[in-house]
Structure 1
Amino acid sequence: MSEPGPNPSRQDAPHPHHAFVDPTGDFLLVPDLGADFIRINKIDKRSGKLTECGSGKPTPGTGPRHGVFWSPAGASSRVRRTDSTILFVANELANTLSSWNVAYSSGCMSLSLKHSLTPYQGNATAARGTKVGEVKVKGNFVYTTNRNDKKFSGNDSVTQYTIAADGTFTWTDTTSSYGTYPRTFDINKAGDFAAIGDQTTSNVAIVTRDVTTGKLGARVADLRIGATGIPEINDGLSAVVWAE
């Protein structure tokens, strides 16, 4: 970076937050919150080496954090069509979820921005201090965790969106995270439970999930992991995943 980004306190240097492969296994993507890039790297499957292959370029100040791919039900992971694969990116600084069309040509991948929404009904602006965190997809639903929005009596929230066949998405529901700073979120294989890892309150909340509507329901279990943390210090609980 030749100079800081629009948010100099968070964009003083590149800050890669996530690394994940595309559905074909040929490319490694890295959302860079500091530089406002979604960096694309081609994988040499024999050597494992990476070659830079362009980048997606969000609006400056967006702060892309985590990403996940989605394809329509029944689509092959090897299908390379711009209308069959969508990349969803959670943007920490803009507090939005964005969708990107994916295209493959000339041995590389390219991304074009489709649209973006906030985590709230009517595309309402996030409260000051909110930081969108994790993004997960299950079936035709995509979810974000919303840290420090204090939407539920001091607790933070999780948002569900519904994905249409053409890859567009709409807000569906916002529910409690049952703690503060939900840094991480995971859905079990069967899709009937979700685990919410609340960083600062250092607890894992297990909630029901309707496999048909995708909606998150009641809290059925809650486990404290170690000592509670301090807001903005990034201590407490870091990540949670289902082992199945």
Structure 2
Amino acid sequence: MHFSRLSLASLAASQVAAVTLWAASYGGAGLGDGGVTSLKLDKTGTGGYTLKQTSFLNGSTSCGAQSSWLTKDAWNNVIYCVDEAWGAANGSITSFHSSPSGSLTLFDKQISLGSPVSTVVYNGGAALAAAHYDTSAVTTWEILPSGGLKAMQVFRYKLTAPGTNPTRQDVPHEHEVILDPTGCFIVVPDLGADLLRIFAINKKTSMLSESSTFAVAPGSGPRHGTFLKTADATYLFVLSELSNTIASYSVAYTATGLSLTQVFISGAYGVGVEIPTGAGAAEAILSPDNKYLLTSERHVASFQIPNFDPKNSTTLPSDALIVWTIDHATGKLSNAQRAPAGGMNPRQFSVNAKGDLAAVGLQDDGRVVILERKKDGSFGDILASVMIAGSPTSVIWDE
């Protein structure tokens, strides 16, 4: 791992105009100011990259002190931000319009149940669903013509007894809302209950109905996931935080909903790779070409990377990003790469539409980095970085 300018060949493959990114960040005692930062990624005259802050909205006057997730609504050109609001009965979902410069303007804010940690727009831009971690709930929201929201449904859950890991599985913990490739279902990993909750979407009303649940191994703590649709099959990949495992499921569409069959499971650091003590699996996304599953691991300094200050020779600890090759015929995964994330606690990361750049929010470092993605699917150099206010939790591209 090293910092360098791109080669001419790599440059030709990575030509991009200036692009906007947005990052959400936690604030609070010892964390600084949380909120939403607008960033601009640009090329330099020498072929490198610069990443700069262009504006910042303090959470206390915008999204909230614990801004935890950003979603871009491609149908309505709106940015939704949720305030996790640690320990509070209520959080919020804030709606922003963006300007050509990337700056955001708040135009709607709705009070929600506490601890929203993920949102997804569904039914062709008609509605939004949210997962609520501490308040053990899923909520749905009508998207109004303005892009603002109106509350629709609340699904709340309880446990009859704590789970296998009673500290983390004291109550249900809904952690993500995942839209399936047909746009007909939403899957919600429940970290506390060791379930995948499956909801059917009514296309006329945007209402959800509870279709079924799928139990994962006790103590797994399913956190995040993503679907892959191939020419012949559909798969669901689920990353479990507590067991640090990644599993693949073949998906069958039935008269009553979705049927899942596990076809693969491995430790989340790689097939046959021992899981370091204290590790915590975080994000799972597909590469834009659908060839690779990309995941992140936290809380273990798997690498030492060069200092971002060229005058400082002290190396810095870094967690890992994992690249998995997907067998489209079976849904099974194989090891491709374990690479430095650019720092500690890569809670969430995203890849641009072209697939040659990844943006990583490093929660413990207060930094966002841009990583090169090579044609073989692997991560390469750190191309640019910037410190932002608070602890970054989510970073997305304006694409």
Both structures adopt the same fold (TM-score exceeding 0.5): yes
Secondary structure of the equivalent of 2:354? coil
Q: Which one has the bigger strand percentage? A: 2
2:251 corresponds to which of 81, 102, 124: 102
**AA aligned opposite 2:190:** D
Matched positions, count: 226
Cα distance in 1 for partners of 2:363, 2:183 equals 31
Paired-residue identity, %: 37
Match of 1:177 in 2: 341
Match of 1:78 in 2: none
Match of 1:238 in 2: 393
Note the C-alpha offset of 1:165: 2.2
**AA aligned opposite 1:169:** L
Cα distance in 2 for partners of 1:111, 1:56 equals 7
C-alpha change, 1:122 and 1:107, in structure 2 (3 Å) is closer
Q: Is the 8 A contact 1:126 1:149 kept in 2?
A: no
C-alpha change, 1:45 and 1:155, in structure 2 (3 Å) is same
1:47 corresponds to which of 205, 214, 237: 205
Match of 2:384 in 1: 221
Note the C-alpha offset of 1:45: 1.2
Cα distance in 2 for partners of 1:119, 1:34 equals 19
Cα distance in 2 for partners of 1:189, 1:156 equals 24
Secondary structure of the equivalent of 1:238? strand
Note the C-alpha offset of 1:126: 1.4
Q: Is the 8 A contact 1:55 1:111 kept in 2?
A: no
Matched, 1:146 2:297: yes
The answer to which of 36-45 and 165-174 deviates more is 165-174
List alignment gaps of at least 5 residues for structure 2: 1-158, 305-316
Cα distance in 1 for partners of 2:175, 2:297 equals 16
Cα distance in 1 for partners of 2:254, 2:395 equals 36
Q: Please give the TM-score of this superposition, normalised by the length of structure 1.
A: 0.89
RMSD across aligned positions (CA): 1.2
Cα distance in 2 for partners of 1:103, 1:185 equals 29
1:134 corresponds to which of 266, 279, 283: 283
Secondary structure of the equivalent of 1:34? coil
Equivalent runs, 1:1-244 vs 2, <5 Å? 1-72=159-230, 75=231, 84-138=233-287, 139-153=290-304, 154-166=317-329, 167-211=331-375, 213-227=376-390, 236-244=391-399
Q: Please give the TM-score of this superposition, normalised by the length of structure 2.
A: 0.55
Match of 1:231 in 2: none
Which consecutive segments of 4 or more residues in structure 1 shift more than 3 A?
A: none
Q: Is the 8 A contact 2:251 2:261 kept in 1?
A: yes
